[in-house]
Amino acid sequence: MNTEYREVITRAMEYGGILDAMLALQEKDGYLTGEAVEALGKAFNMFPSQVYDTATFYSMLKFEPQSITEILICRGAPCHVAGSVEVIVAIEKEIGIKIGEKTEDGRYSFDYTECLGQCQAAPAVLVNGKLHTNVTPEGITVLLRKGGPEE
């Protein structure tokens, strides 16, 4: 296990820093496992507590297995001005949980993310990593009804 982590980290270190390595490890397991954090600590000469501290700064990094459909909405000011609040309300209504929560069956999770760099086409939403821009409350409802990740 540990060697696998080391390989992923070594590859990531060729093109980037610790954040790239974290993303690569997340790609592998779906989230950052405890051993992954420890392996990162060794590779970057940091204490596990420091690695974890750094990682938790980014909402795109996860520390537990994720739900099937993950919806992330941008919390940036331009998205807010463009009406992200209405979109949030629509999503909450559709999937029946509040932002920051997970459905009990584990099908959906819904949370904020930081600026997605799509301010020109705000509001922006990520559904399982796929970007949707100029999102409207109606649009997102239709999208979610059509059903999940593959969309």
Binding site for ligand FES (CB under 6 A): 74, 76, 78-79, 115-119, 122, 124
- For the CB of residue 137, give the shortest distance to other proteins in the complex, in Å: 26
d(CA 112, CA 100): 7
Helix (H) or strand (E) holding 147: helix 137-147
User: Between residues 36 and 91, which has the closer beta carbon with respect to ligand FES?
Assistant: 91
d(CA 36, CA 146): 35
| 90 binding partner (options other proteins, ligand FES, none; Cβ < 5 to 8 Å by kind) | none
User: Between residues 28 and 75, which has the closer beta carbon with respect to other proteins?
Assistant: 75
Count of Cβ atoms closer than 10 Å to residue 86 Cβ:
15
Residues within the interface to other proteins (CB under 8 A): 34, 37, 47-50, 52-53, 56-57, 63
- For the CB of residue 79, give the shortest distance to other proteins in the complex, in Å: 17
| 79 binding partner (options ligand FES, other proteins, none; Cβ < 5 to 8 Å by kind) | ligand FES
Longest dimension (CA), the chain: 49
- For the CB of residue 77, give the shortest distance to ligand FES in the complex, in Å: 6
- For the CB of residue 18, give the shortest distance to ligand FES in the complex, in Å: 24
d(CA 138, CA 144): 10
- Helices (runs of H) and strands (runs of E) counted in the chain: 7, 4
Partners of 102 in the β-ladder = 109
